[in-house]
Amino acid sequence: MPDYFTPTKYVKDYSRDPFFKSVDYGSYFRAKVLPFTFLSLGGAILVSQVVLPLTYLSVTDNFPTYVSSTAFGKASGLSEFEFDELNKGLGETNGVVAGVNSNTPQTFTITIPKLGIKEAVVHTNSSSLNPEGYIGHYPGTSTPDLPGTAFLYGHSALPVFYNPKNYKTIFSTLNQLNAGDEFTVNYNNKDYVYKVEKTEIKAVTDIDPLAKVSQDYLNKSDLILMTCWPAGSKSKRLLVSTTQVN
């Protein structure tokens, strides 16, 4: 007689049961390896893109070139940048640089006490529209020892990161200059004092580096300082017009 009441024996397969397996590699990877990997990657990005650039900017006057291309560098206005709008003036000079002679120095200095700038280096007739390590003097414009208008340009960044010794941030507080403020340019070992006449904000398309502050018949020596505006951005330009008083 058939035994219909014999119980069926089932054997559970523990091979896919995370509670009974000694090691469930899939769960281990998802629960520990993957989160740790993302956490480590996020930390590395934070250190390389923010912490290190901020540290370099805080403790040194000259930081590595890579800082300009980091997230911090771009957000602060330190990214690579050229004053491309000045290119249009180069063609107007036809390769002739005004005032160049045997006494024309390769560099001169500018000191602006109100901004904490002391003997910053200016490259005479600069060949670069991205002045790193100095302030640019536009080719074809005048020099302090001659009548006419000299045109100087330099970088700026967010004012909170302003360092008067760092040429990536040197003009970040240029907007603080007011009419009547004075500063000094040392050219060929002679000091020339300039007084601020006015400040103005212009569209990039309206910039003319060869424009003159005073008419030629006045026989005056003027100087224009230019940087990006607002500081840390590149949408417009801030220009400070000054006149030599000595």
Contacts of 238 (CB under 8 A, 6+ apart): 174, 175, 199, 200, 201, 226, 227, 228, 229
Residues 105 and 15 both lie in one domain: no
Q: Grade residue 43 by pLDDT with cuts at 50, 70 and 90.
A: confident
Residues 53 and 161 both lie in one domain: no
Does position 35 have pLDDT exceeding 70, yes or no? Answer: yes
Contacts of 244 (CB under 8 A, 6+ apart): 144, 192, 193, 194, 220, 221, 222, 223
Q: Grade residue 102 by pLDDT with cuts at 50, 70 and 90.
A: low
Domain span at residue 53 reads 1-59
Residue 65 lies in a domain: no
Residues 100 and 183 both lie in one domain: yes
Residue 177 lies in a domain: yes
* Residue 224: both structure tokens together: 């224009």
* Residue 180: both structure tokens together: 């009547």
Domain end call among 13, 28, 59: 59
Q: Grade residue 19 by pLDDT with cuts at 50, 70 and 90.
A: low
How large is the average pLDDT for residues 3-7? 68
What residues pair up with 185 in beta bridges, in sequence order? Answer: 110, 192
Q: Which of 47, 55, 51, 57 is nearest to 172 (CA)?
A: 57
Question: What is the domain count for the chain?
Answer: 2
- For 204-233, the pLDDT digits (tens) are 999 999 998 888 778 899 999 999 999 888
Residues 91 and 208 both lie in one domain: yes
Residue 69 lies in a domain: no
Q: Which of 100-104, 156-160, 212-216 has the lowest mean pLDDT?
A: 100-104
In this prediction, residue 3 carries a pLDDT of 61
DSSP string for residues in the chain: ---TTPPPP----GGG-TTTSS--HHHHIIIIIHHHHHHHHHHHHHIIIIIHHHHHHHH-SS--GGGGGSHHHHHHT-S----GGGHHHHHHHTTPPTT-STT--SEEEEEEGGGTEEEEEEETT-S-SS-SSSEEE-TTS--TTSSEEEEEE-----GGG--TT-TTTTTTTGGG--TT-EEEEEETTEEEEEEEEEEEEEEGGG--TT--SS-GGG--EEEEEEEEESTT--SEEEEEEEEE--
How large is the average pLDDT for residues 41-45? 81
Average pLDDT, the chain: 84
How large is the average pLDDT for residues 141-166? 92
* Burial group, residue 234, by CB count within 10 angstroms (0-12, 13-18, 19+): middle
* Residue 145: both structure tokens together: 């020892």
Residues 96 and 169 both lie in one domain: yes
Q: Which of 18-27, 215-224, 233-242 has the highest mean pLDDT?
A: 233-242
Residues 35 and 109 both lie in one domain: no
- Choose between 177 and 62: higher pLDDT: 177
| Reported pTM | 0.76
In this prediction, residue 135 carries a pLDDT of 97
- For 108-147, the pLDDT digits (tens) are 999 999 999 999 999 999 999 999 899 999 999 999 999 9
CA dihedral 109, 89, 155, 201 (to 10 degrees): 110
* Residue 210: both structure tokens together: 């060869």
Q: Which of 3-17, 36-50, 97-111, 133-147 has the lowest mean pLDDT?
A: 3-17
In this prediction, residue 95 carries a pLDDT of 46
Percent of the chain with pLDDT over 90: 48
Residue 163 lies in a domain: yes
Residue corresponding to tokens 């901004």: 115
In this prediction, residue 34 carries a pLDDT of 81
Residue 76 lies in a domain: no
Residue 153 lies in a domain: yes
Residue 167 lies in a domain: yes
Residue 23 lies in a domain: yes
Residues 19 and 87 both lie in one domain: no
* Residue 105: both structure tokens together: 């120095």
Q: Which of 67, 37, 43 is nearest to 55 (CA)?
A: 67
CATH of the domain at 146: 2.40.260.10
* Residue 232: both structure tokens together: 């840390």
